[in-house]
Amino acid sequence: MSAPLSPASSCGPSESFEFTPLQLAAHWGNVQEVRYLIDSGVQLDNGPDTALHLALRKCHSTIAILLLDAGANFELKDTHEDCPIHIACTFGLLNVVHTLCALGCRLEITDSRGLYPLHLAAKNGHTHVVRCLCAAGCNLDVHYGDNIRADITALKYGHNEIAELLDKLRATGQRDTYARQLVPTSKLYVRLIVRVFGNCGVGKTSLIKSLGAGLFSTLFRRSGSLQSNKSRPSSPISAQIEMDVTSRQNSLTFESSASYKSTKGIHIQNLEISNVGDVVVWEFSGQENYFPTYHHFLHPSPQTLTLVLFNLEDSPVVQVQQACFWINFIMAREAHEWSLFKVGPIVLVATHVDSTRAIKNQQGEWVSPDAQTTLETVEKLIPDVQYLHPSVIVMDSNVPASQPFKHLKSMLLTLKRDNLEKTIGMWTGLLESTLSWLAHLRKEYEQFPVIHRKAFYDLVRTSVNVLASDDHIRALLHQLHNMGEIFCINELVVISLAWFGLQLIGEFLSTEFLANVRATGVYTPDDFQASFNQFDALGTLQLMEALELCIQCEVDGETEYEFPIYNQTETLPGLWDSGDPRYRTTGACYGGVRLYASSNCHHLFTSIFPHIQIELRRAAIANSCNNDNDTDLYQWHHGSKLCTIALETLITLDTDERSSQYIEIKIRGPQQTSQYCFYFLENVIETVLQGIARVCPGLVMERHILSVHQLRIHCIEPYAYPSQLLSTAMLESESTLEITLQNTETEKFENVITLALFGDVELVSKIHWGCSLKVQHLPIAVKFKLARLLDPPHSHGRDWCLLALRLGLEPEKIATADSHSHSCTMRLLALTDCTIGALIANLQELGRNDTAEVVLRTSPLLQIIDNATE
Ligand SMILES: Nc1nc2c(ncn2[C@@H]2O[C@H](COP(=O)(O)OP(=O)(O)OP(=O)(O)O)[C@@H](O)[C@H]2O)c(=O)[nH]1
């Protein structure tokens, strides 16, 4: 089939041709049609201007690559005597040139004017294309006219960078070496990662020293163990510990002892472990000051072994609290990715063992009933923790050659074997040369080992491989980052992790440093430089901003950096003045919520709250940019107040009588501001949740509602109606409007419209209640938690599959949800049409109250109807 319509005028051939539908689709850039025509098996090379030439003339790279993949002839000349490579080089179509080179296209071929592809790329200033041609092995000495080489063409057209590149390749004679460096090799190489967590003094540093100790040093390491020897604590049974950990005063402390030198920040070391090979060990300090930075470094990977240490000298309750804290800490920061990736195990390690706390079996392993009980209690308290190793390693961290260390090494070896195959094609000469060059670079940048990404690209090209493309360097950075050689954060590349973890994070968040910072936590760059003149202030501030420890603000035309983490200002008196006449009238609006982390996650908010304050400041800046200048934000230690002309919102971090931390958000407005208050409060809650999600995307949140009656009378600690109480009432009630809940402190009843909608019935038409929403509206962290609970096969079949049947999913859909590489529950939740209410009911009927409870506690209370999408 052919069509008379001609794209010839735009291509410039003298005659007009009849074009095939493929040529027309290629010319007009219609990707779908080109794909369809290729799949229908049409002729690809009708010419003389083939579909490939026509697509290239219009710079439709995607279509050109589709045609090349389908087998289009790439050596044909068009009516201009140009081959596809000439057109691609003229227009700088890197992906196409790359594909053509990979297909073995001839590069020593001239166009009608005698120009080679290299000349065309040089003339038009396409440096990346010149690199690609050189890497593909084109002849650098080809010339046209009066012996004009491509470097001369580049100079003539003012592209000095290209001329220099070509000169360098010719002068060094290294072109082939550079080109070879870019090709993946068959070398197998895994660098394992060991992450070590635990409270201060549990033995992290000692364990790492012992792990890396050679045979000789092993002889000298035993002495450290002989110092501590407390009496053996009594061993309560597992159920008793469980009750203690969940109900008693929480006794987690994160202080370090004065009796030894505590690790500051994050200590990152490369170890060469005999029989295992290269391992990067990340020791995360147990001091709380540093926790707000850890999420940047916690990404699950299959090459990672995570050790959570606890001390057998501590009481069983404290052991469980600490182990749970760290597992929750890690899971909150990375859990939602766990259902998608195969990750390395988490292993509990019980330290400070001796013969009063355990017995040695015949294989020389310590057997500690206390440690085992701790593990069992942790498994019960956090039932959705995946990849938790089924036994505890019991050790004296100071005794390197002992059985527990052999056990640890054999785990590392297994992890290495499991991952070796996946590394095929990862190792390149570029990576190898960069690794040795990095050592020099670190010396050169000793004072401040941080480089902008763009500058790093240039440095790699000048010092390692002039032919490396942007894609090569991007992949290289990714590899180096994963290997623990560098750390990429935003547009910055930190080239010394030791400096980053110990000197930057270790110093700037140390207790001593915090004792000397400004109480307001606000600095101009000059103030910062004056206060800490040993550091490069601007560079440090930039890095701190990338770590989200501070935020840049403009105040009266001056740049300032606000560090909520340094803010030590006490709560100001009169912040929530009960005598303020605007909020004393009977019609004044009050409302608020308490955000709790899901059960048993104590103490996580301390490290998150400064990030929430950064998020609030970001929102306030965005508001003022939108000319909404009437918003003011005041921040102090663990508190913020957001004010508009009429409304006041208080956001604070507090702890309840069960020692559970929560974030309280309360709002008040003068009479007749109910709708304004409602939308404003929803906005603030959203901002706070965003701040939490930045640090802890896996944290499952509960939203409890504050007693409006008690807020109105300025009760210091108003009662909060638990989220599951509201969800249950909504499921059981015929009409949401009639729901009333009883405040167990005052015994008074409050209506759900008063509690959630500031008593404004008009708002009912502007929202959907949570239980009537489709399950797709469940927060992502909740879906992943359900996935972790429902994916594993259940002894009575009460897993995702039975749920799918109950929800009425057809067998074909269930078959599509069944997968080994993805979470079946996640797929089910995407496929089903059911509401959150129906999901809860089905989970209950299935006998999975554990999961029904999760949804009851964490499902959204309401959602504002978006008129644009409804
Ligand atoms: N007896 C005995 N002593 C230990 C053991 N592990 C650590 N210690 C001692 O406890 C003290 C603290 O040990 P570290 O290894 O520094 O503890 P850490 O967890 O690194 O502590 P931070 O650096 O504060 O986070 C040192 O005096 C160690 O010698 C152990 O398994 N048995």
For residues 198 and 291, the answer to whether their CB atoms sit within 8 Å is no
CA-263 nearest atom, ligand 1: 23
DSSP designation for 184: B
CATH fold of 192-212+262-421, please?
A: Rossmann fold (3.40.50)
Q: Percent of the chain scored above 70 by pLDDT?
A: 90
234's CB contacts (< 8 A; 6+ apart) are none
Give the pLDDT band of residue 650 (cuts 50, 70, 90): very high
Is 760's pLDDT higher than 50? Answer: yes
Q: Which 3 state secondary structure label does DSSP give 805?
A: helix
Give the pLDDT band of residue 797 (cuts 50, 70, 90): confident
Give the pLDDT band of residue 423 (cuts 50, 70, 90): confident
CA-309 nearest atom, ligand 1: 19
Give the pLDDT band of residue 690 (cuts 50, 70, 90): very high
Task: Among 206, 222, 312, name the best residue to mutate to test ligand 1's pocket (greatest count of ligand atoms within 8 A of Cβ).
Answer: 206
Beta bridge partners of 307: 196, 347
- Residue 281 CA to residue 323 CA, distance in Å, equals 20
For residues 46 and 34, the answer to whether their CB atoms sit within 8 Å is no
**Chain-centroid distance, C-alpha 314:** 34
262 lines ligand 1 (CB under 6 A): yes
Task: Determine the Cα angle at 159 with ends 154 and 164, to 5°.
Answer: 80
- Residue 74 CA to residue 835 CA, distance in Å, equals 55
- Residue 312 CA to residue 309 CA, distance in Å, equals 10
Q: In the predicted model, what is the mean pLDDT of residues 614-631?
A: 82
Tokens standing for residue 171: 């002068």
- Residue 636 CA to residue 839 CA, distance in Å, equals 42
Is 261's pLDDT higher than 80? Answer: no
652 lines ligand 1 (CB under 6 A): no
Is 1's pLDDT higher than 60? Answer: no
pLDDT at 10: 44
Q: How far, in Å, from the CA of 328 to the mean position of ligand 1?
A: 23
CATH 1.25.40.20 domain extents, the chain: 21-182
Identity of residue 864:
I
228 lines ligand 1 (CB under 6 A): yes
Give the pLDDT band of residue 851 (cuts 50, 70, 90): very high
pLDDT at 226: 47
pLDDT at 602: 67
321 lines ligand 1 (CB under 6 A): no
Q: According to the CATH classification, is domain 588-761 in 3.30.70.600?
A: yes
Q: How far, in Å, from the CA of 300 to the mean position of ligand 1?
A: 27
Give the pLDDT band of residue 7 (cuts 50, 70, 90): very low
User: Which has more pLDDT, 320 or 231?
Assistant: 320
Task: Among 194, 228, 231, 322, name the best residue to mutate to test ligand 1's pocket (greatest count of ligand atoms within 8 A of Cβ).
Answer: 228
225 lines ligand 1 (CB under 6 A): yes
User: Which has more pLDDT, 716 or 246?
Assistant: 716
265 lines ligand 1 (CB under 6 A): no
* pLDDT averaged over every residue in the chain: 87
Q: In the predicted model, what is the mean pLDDT of residues 682-695?
A: 94
Q: Which of 838, 699, 693 shows the shortest CA–CA distance to 782?
A: 699
- Residue 216 CA to residue 237 CA, distance in Å, equals 42
202 lines ligand 1 (CB under 6 A): yes
Smallest CA separation from ligand 1 atom 1, residue: 225
Give the pLDDT band of residue 301 (cuts 50, 70, 90): confident
- Residue 543 CA to residue 562 CA, distance in Å, equals 14
253 lines ligand 1 (CB under 6 A): no
Tokens standing for residue 181: 């460096």
Q: In the predicted model, what is the mean pLDDT of residues 422-431?
A: 87
pLDDT at 530: 86
- Residue 638 CA to residue 663 CA, distance in Å, equals 9
Is 247's pLDDT higher than 70? Answer: no
pLDDT at 378: 94
204 lines ligand 1 (CB under 6 A): yes
CATH (residue range 775-864): 1.10.533.10
CATH number of 21-182: 3.30.360.10, 1.25.40.20, 3.40.50.10470, 1.20.140.10?
1.25.40.20
Q: How far, in Å, from the CA of 201 to the mean position of ligand 1?
A: 5
Tokens standing for residue 477: 């950075």
Q: In the predicted model, what is the mean pLDDT of residues 456-475?
A: 95
Q: How far, in Å, from the CA of 261 to the mean position of ligand 1?
A: 10
Give the pLDDT band of residue 242 (cuts 50, 70, 90): low
Smallest CA separation from ligand 1 atom 16, residue: 205
Q: Which of 349, 417, 327, 418 shows the shortest CA–CA distance to 788?
A: 327
Strand order in the sheet with 192-197: 266-273, 277-284, 192-197, 304-311, 346-351, 393-394
For residues 250 and 659, the answer to whether their CB atoms sit within 8 Å is yes
Report the complex ipTM.
Answer: 0.98
Smallest CA separation from ligand 1 atom 27, residue: 260
CA-286 nearest atom, ligand 1: 25
- Residue 58 CA to residue 9 CA, distance in Å, equals 12
449's CB contacts (< 8 A; 6+ apart) are 442, 494, 495, 496, 499, 500
CATH 3.40.50.300 domain extents, the chain: 192-212+262-421
Beta bridge partners of 268: 282
CA-225 nearest atom, ligand 1: 1
Task: Among 322, 354, 397, name the best residue to mutate to test ligand 1's pocket (greatest count of ligand atoms within 8 A of Cβ).
Answer: 397
CA-198 nearest atom, ligand 1: 19
Q: Which of 668, 743, 739, 667 shows the shortest CA–CA distance to 707?
A: 743
User: Which has more pLDDT, 772 or 257?
Assistant: 772
Q: How far, in Å, from the CA of 382 to the mean position of ligand 1?
A: 27
**Positions of E strands within 312-464:** 346-351, 359-360, 366-367, 393-394, 450-452
CA distances for 241 relative to 57, 368, 370, 424, 828, angstroms = 74, 16, 11, 47, 37
Question: Tens of pLDDT along 70-89?
Answer: 999 999 999 999 999 999 99
Q: In the predicted model, what is the mean pLDDT of residues 533-552?
A: 90
Identity of residue 100:
L
User: Which has more pLDDT, 869 or 601?
Assistant: 601
Highest-confidence segment of 240-254, 280-294, 374-388, 737-751 = 280-294
- CA dihedral 737→741→743→744, nearest 10 degrees, is 180
CATH 3.30.70.600 domain extents, the chain: 588-761
CA-256 nearest atom, ligand 1: 24
Q: How far, in Å, from the CA of 579 to the mean position of ligand 1?
A: 54
210 lines ligand 1 (CB under 6 A): no
Task: Among 205, 256, 312, name the best residue to mutate to test ligand 1's pocket (greatest count of ligand atoms within 8 A of Cβ).
Answer: 205
Q: What HEC string does 566-590 produce?
A: CCCCCCCCCCCCCCCHHHCCCCCEE
Give the pLDDT band of residue 239 (cuts 50, 70, 90): low
Is 826's pLDDT higher than 50? Answer: yes
198 lines ligand 1 (CB under 6 A): yes
224 lines ligand 1 (CB under 6 A): yes
Rg (CA), the chain: 32
Q: In the predicted model, what is the mean pLDDT of residues 484-496?
A: 95
Q: Percent of the chain scored above 90 by pLDDT?
A: 59
Architecture of the domain whose range is 426-516: Orthogonal Bundle (1.10)
Q: In the predicted model, what is the mean pLDDT of residues 698-720?
A: 92
CATH 1.10.10 domain extents, the chain: 426-516
Question: What's the burial of 665, exposed, middle or buried (CB within 10 Å: 0-12/13-18/19+)?
Answer: buried
Q: In the predicted model, what is the mean pLDDT of residues 334-362?
A: 81
Is 15's pLDDT higher than 50? Answer: no
Q: In the predicted model, what is the mean pLDDT of residues 171-197?
A: 91
Question: Tens of pLDDT along 310-341?
Answer: 999 999 999 999 999 999 999 888 866 555 56
pTM value is 0.87
Listed range (12-21, 381-390, 493-502, 746-755) with the worst mean pLDDT: 12-21
For residues 349 and 207, the answer to whether their CB atoms sit within 8 Å is yes
